[in-house]
């Protein structure tokens, strides 16, 4: 029941209509028996929003496109990893002091490490946007080698340089020997879910393939990878784990990953319930 003690959290972005974060976090709060509510805020005026967070005592925020970098000047403190990545997806309000974190990196690592061992892996990252950057910095010290591939070479090279790794253009992908492919572009996302960013030939048996897209749950890339004998890791897994890390930062407690997953699956795949 909502009452005078209810603690407020939310996600800010533009647009925000398709976000599954409210469903996921409200399920986590309910499972933990917390008197808390999580809402979606469609925000264009970020400065006004952050003043509102302070004034209303909103306890925590998820931050999404297009505000992940723009929010940084509005914060009091920045976690080291978020600083390195240059993007914040989580804000914690501790008695009026706002600290920014990036849980995409931890979420990706957990999604990967619960399925495969990263040590010594030759990893190919497709894309060089914010998500690619977060994942690449998290993986840098865990894998054997890292290569960035991107549509626009300038952006791809810049990320590769920041990581101290190599860059390859999309039309040279067949030359890379990779054990782990991580797909971070929007190619294959609903409603354009017939699209696939790479040709089937680069998918080899025994390889691991993670797609950060979670709608559809199994992208064309993951379906192809599965049929070629690859280990496949879904974007849903990363989404849930980054949300679980947010819950830990906000509440200090351990969320029910099972309740979070169930709630999101009820929306994404109601027929499979
Ligand atoms: P996010 O922060 O979610 O990662 P982003 O910063 O917009 O999103 O990055 C999107 C990534 O997907 C970029 O690497 C982009 O490539 P460019 O740097 O060339 O723009 C890539 N991307 C987007 N649409 C693509 C497409 N149709 N084909 C290949 N790559 C695409």
Residue-wise pLDDT tens digits, 146-179: 999 999 999 999 999 999 999 999 999 999 999 9
CA of 187 to the centre of ligand 1 (A): 8
- Considering the domain architecture, whether residues 55 and 126 belong to the same structural domain is answered as no
Do 242 and 220 share a domain, yes or no?
A: no
State whether the beta carbon of 187 lies less than 6 angstroms from ligand 1: yes
Beginning with the edge strand found earlier in the chain, give each strand of the sheet holding 122-126 in spatial order: 166-169, 145-150, 122-126, 180-183, 208-211, 231-233
CATH of the domain at 219: 3.40.50.720
Atom of ligand 1 nearest to the CA of 128: 14
Pick the closest to residue 12 from 41, 45, 54 (CA basis): 41
Distance CA 181, CA 183 (A): 6
CA-based torsion, 125, 187, 64, 23: positive or negative: negative
Give catalytic residues, as residue numbers: 68
Structure tokens at 111: 């999604």
pLDDT tens readout for residues 208-266: 999 999 999 999 999 999 999 999 999 999 999 999 999 999 999 999 999 999 999 99
**Per-residue model confidence as pLDDT tens digits over 104-153:** 999 999 999 999 999 999 999 999 998 999 999 999 999 999 999 999 99
| Residue 25 shares a structural domain with residue 81 | yes
Does the beta carbon of 132 sit less than 6 angstroms from any atom of ligand 1? Answer: yes
Query: Looking at residue 137, what is its pLDDT?
Result: 94
Note whether 180 and 121 are within 8 A (CB): yes
Task: Name the residue with the closest Cα to ligand 1, atom 26.
Answer: 187
- pLDDT level of residue 272 (50, 70, 90 thresholds): confident
pLDDT above 70: percentage of residues in the chain: 100
Contact criterion met (CB below 8 Å) for 202 and 175: no
Mean pLDDT of 184-200: 95
Is there a single domain that holds both residue 165 and residue 122? yes
Distance CA 207, CA 3 (A): 51
Is 255 close to ligand 1, i.e. is its CB under 6 Å away? no
Q: Quick check: CB of 128 below 6 Å from ligand 1?
A: yes
Over 70: is that where the pLDDT of 273 sits? no
Let me know if residue 2 belongs to a domain: no
Cα 24 to averaged position of ligand 1 atoms, centre (Å): 26
Q: Are residues 153 and 224 in the same domain?
A: yes
For residue 194, pLDDT over 70 is answered with yes
pLDDT at site 1: 86
Residue among 37, 3, 4 nearest 21 (CA): 37
85 and 115 assigned to the same domain: no
Check which CATH number belongs to the domain holding 263 and give it: 3.40.50.10860
Q: In this predicted structure, what is the pLDDT of residue 140?
A: 93
Q: Is 130 in the pocket of ligand 1 (CB under 6 A)?
A: yes
Predicted confidence at residue 271, as pLDDT, reads 82
Describe the strand order of the beta sheet including 97-101 as a list of residue ranges: 36-42, 7-13, 60-63, 90-94, 97-101, 77-78
Are residues 133 and 212 both part of a single domain?
Answer: yes
The answer to whether residue 251 sits within a structural domain is yes
* 74 domain residue, yes or no: yes
Give a yes or no: residue 1 inside a domain.
Answer: no
* Atom 12 of ligand 1, residue of closest alpha carbon: 185
Domain count, the chain: 2
In a domain, 258, yes or no: yes
Query: Residue 86 is part of which domain span?
Result: 7-102+237-272
Q: What is the pLDDT of residue 191?
A: 93
Phi and psi dihedrals of 99, rounded to 5? -120, 135
User: Is residue 141, in this structure, part of any structural domain at all?
Assistant: yes
Residues 159 and 211 in one domain: yes
Cα-based distances in Å from 4 to 8, 35, 232, 235:
11, 10, 45, 37
Q: In this predicted model, what pLDDT tens digit does every residue of 72-106 receive, in sequence order?
A: 999 999 999 999 999 999 999 999 999 999 999 99
Same domain, residue pair 211 and 117: yes
Q: pLDDT tens digits for 4-26? A: 999 999 999 999 988 999 999 99
Residues 128 and 229 placed together within one structural domain of the fold:
yes
Same domain, 127 and 213: yes
Note whether residue 66 is domain-resident.
yes
Residues of 129-155 as b/e, b for ≥16 C-beta within 10 angstroms?
A: ebbbbbbbbbbeebbeebbbbbeeeeb
H or E segment and range at residue 181: strand 180-183
Give the Å distance between the CA of 9 and the centre of ligand 1.
Answer: 29
> Does the global pTM surpass 0.85?
yes
- 98 and 205 inside one domain: no
């Amino acid at each position: 029941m909502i009452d005078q003690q209810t603690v407020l959290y939310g996600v800010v972005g533009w647009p925000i209509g398709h976000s599954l974060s409210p469903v996921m976090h409200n399920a986590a709060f309910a499972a933990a028996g917390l008197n808390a509510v999580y809402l979606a805020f469609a925000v264009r005026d970020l400065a006004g929003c952050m003043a509102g967070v302070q004034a209303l005592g909103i306890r925590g925020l998820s931050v999404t496109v297009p505000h992940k970098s723009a929010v940084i000047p509005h914060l009091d403190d920045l976690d080291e990893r978020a600083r390195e990545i240059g993007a914040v997806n989580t804000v914690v309000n501790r008695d009026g002091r706002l600290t920014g974190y990036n849980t995409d990196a931890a979420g990706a690592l957990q999604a990967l490490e619960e399925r495969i061992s990263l040590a010594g892996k030759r990893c190919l990252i497709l894309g060089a946007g914010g998500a690619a950057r977060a994942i690449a910095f998290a993986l840098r010290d865990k894998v054997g080698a890292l290569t960035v591939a991107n549509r626009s070479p300038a952006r791809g090279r810049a990320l590769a340089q920041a990581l101290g790794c190599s860059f390859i253009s999309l039309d040279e992908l067949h030359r890379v020997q990779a054990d782990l492919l991580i797909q971070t572009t929007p190619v294959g996302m609903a409603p354009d879910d017939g699209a696939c960013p790479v040709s089937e030939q680069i998918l080899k048996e025994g390889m691991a393939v993670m797609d950060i897209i979670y709608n559809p749950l199994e992208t064309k890339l993951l379906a192809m990878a599965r049929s070629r004998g690859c280990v496949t890791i879904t974007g849903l897994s990363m989404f849930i784990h980054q949300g679980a890390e947010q819950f830990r930062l906000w509440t200090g407690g351990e969320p029910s990953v099972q309740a979070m997953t169930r709630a999101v699956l009820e929306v994404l795949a109601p027929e499979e319930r």
